Amino acid sequence: MDTQQSLTSVYFSYLQQAACFASCTMFWANKIKLLALLVLPFLAFLLFQTFYHPSYSPGLIGKSSHKHVLILSSWRSGSSFVGQLFSQHPNVFYLMEPAWHVWTNLSCGNAGQLQMAVRDLVRSVFLCDMSVFDAYMAQDSSLFQWETSRALCSPPACHFFNREAIIPWADCKTLCGKQPFNTIEEVCRSYSHVVIKEVRFFSLKPLHPLLTDPSLNLHIIHLIRDPRAIFHSRKNIEVELIADSHVVMGTQWKTIKKEDHPYYMMKTICQSHKEIYEAAQLLPDSLRERYLLIRYEDLVQDPLIQTAKLYEFAGLPFLPHLQKWVQIITQGKGMGKHPFHTDSRNARNISQAWRWSLPHDRVVKLQKICKDTMDLMGYLPVLSEEDQRNLSMLVLSTLELP
């Protein structure tokens, strides 16, 4: 308010000086009055807009106090796991796939037609403006997979857990499920980082306005996975993914043979990853440094080093209790209890499960469909069934990134 008063004083001072000068110089009187009436108010307005803001802080004009990270991936690529790496961090407000609400309520459109609506929703969430969900949700409904957000399971949203605790989704849903989340905007603004995991972008183009928005300072983590592993994982939960598959295929899902649906989806997924990666390389340096590609296989091969890399990219400290949790969550036994939740499992074995589970003829077909993407991302083909079953034979090469 002091700044506003100061600018007002400057403005009236200019007017007084102009009037005084006009009274002393009759020849210029009319011109000076005109100048005062037309030019000076405009200059005062510009000064006001430049220096005064309700949240004015020197050096922070035009910048957001939050850091925003978008985990960009596809279904069954390990994105829920990467999402939890961020969700469990005490500095992060995280939401899992908020665009699910768009696709569910606007299912008459295809994936391409819904890109702008998804983009606008994501931007609003980054800015902690949750009123955007009013268009897609009934008042008594809940956010999709809200229980995967540690921020919604700890104060000030829910007081059963400490803000720094590792919170399992099941415990959160049981204890915090009846909490009113009408304070979600307040909760969001109380964190330094806002992270969203999303699988419903198939191009970098709709995200360009977000990348160039100085109020966001958006960072993109592009998570990819071996297409053969994605195909294997999708095969086990086809029923759960059928609605999303129909949106991706659009009207074509009725004309494509049912047995070809999985291959059509994989062709779309592979092509989208290739296009996103190639488009990122064409960004100017100032934007390209805010894009990070990571392979799921590298992450599970060396989880501590790769997680540290992700946190460094996002500007987050890798806290000791998170280091311990990452080791526990990636070095468990078995294949996990639930396909959509992050629990302790042998992540390295899971990344290779397709090699002993998928029929070789399907692998050959997939390798043809996704050849360009696999070559670009360093996924090596298996040329025989013997090579596929031989786990000592490498199917991953070193990825040389620019």
| Residue 75 or residue 6, greater confidence | 75
> Could you give phi then psi for residue 86, rounded to 5 degrees?
-90, -40
Report the range of poorest mean pLDDT among 80-84, 166-170, 317-321. Answer: 166-170
- Mean pLDDT, range 39-59, rounded to an integer: 34
Q: Strand 291-295's sheet: what is its strand order?
A: 92-96, 193-198, 67-72, 218-224, 291-295
- Mean pLDDT, range 26-34, rounded to an integer: 38
Q: How many CB atoms lie within 10 A of CB 368?
A: 12
| Residue 3 or residue 216, greater confidence | 216
* Structure confidence at residue 64 (pLDDT): 55
* Structure confidence at residue 266 (pLDDT): 95
| Res 99 pLDDT > 50 | yes
Report the range of poorest mean pLDDT among 85-99, 218-232, 274-288, 327-341. Answer: 327-341
β-pairing verdict for 291-295 and 218-224: parallel
pLDDT digits (tens, 9 = 90+) for 169-188: 889 888 888 766 678 899 99
Give the model's confidence band at 7: pLDDT under 50 very low, under 70 low, under 90 confident, else very high. very low
Could you give the angle at the alpha carbon of 252 between the alpha carbons of 249 and 253, nearest 5°? 70
pLDDT digits (tens, 9 = 90+) for 127-142: 999 999 988 887 767 8
Per-residue burial over 148-159, b = 16 or more CB atoms within 10 Å of its CB, e = otherwise? bbbbbbbeebbe
Q: Is-contact 304 315, C-beta < 8 A?
A: no
Output the average pLDDT for the chain.
Answer: 81
| Residue 38 or residue 326, greater confidence | 326
Segment (H or E) for 274: helix 261-281
Which residue has tokens 């996103």?
A: 276
- Mean pLDDT, range 374-389, rounded to an integer: 96
Q: Where are the domains of the chain?
A: 2-50, 67-318
* Structure confidence at residue 258 (pLDDT): 87
* Structure confidence at residue 331 (pLDDT): 81
Percent of the chain past pLDDT 90, that is, above it, reads 53
Determine the residue type at 400.
E
* Structure confidence at residue 342 (pLDDT): 52
Q: Which CATH number is correct for 67-318, 1.10.10, 3.40.50, 2.60.40, 2.40.128?
A: 3.40.50
| Res 382 pLDDT > 50 | yes
| Res 30 pLDDT > 90 | no
| Res 369 pLDDT > 90 | yes
* Structure confidence at residue 31 (pLDDT): 36
| Res 14 pLDDT > 70 | no
* Structure confidence at residue 196 (pLDDT): 97
* Structure confidence at residue 96 (pLDDT): 94
| Residue 387 or residue 399, greater confidence | 387
3-state per-residue secondary structure call for 106-174: CCCCCCCCCHHHHHHHHHHHHCCCHHHHHHCCCCCCCCCCHHHCHHHHCCCCCCCCCCCCCCCHHHHHH
* Structure confidence at residue 245 (pLDDT): 87
- Mean pLDDT, range 359-381, rounded to an integer: 96
Give the model's confidence band at 343: pLDDT under 50 very low, under 70 low, under 90 confident, else very high. low
DSSP designation for 402: -
- Mean pLDDT, range 346-350, rounded to an integer: 74
Q: Is-contact 280 222, C-beta < 8 A?
A: yes
* Structure confidence at residue 332 (pLDDT): 65
Give the model's confidence band at 61: pLDDT under 50 very low, under 70 low, under 90 confident, else very high. very low
pLDDT digits (tens, 9 = 90+) for 191-245: 999 999 999 999 999 999 999 998 898 999 999 999 999 999 998 887 888 888 8
**DSSP letters of 276-303?**
HHHHHHTS-HHHHTTEEEEEHHHHHHSH
| Res 38 pLDDT > 50 | no
What is the reported pTM? 0.80
| Res 124 pLDDT > 90 | yes
Bin 210: left if φ > 0, else alpha if -120 < ψ < 50, else beta: alpha
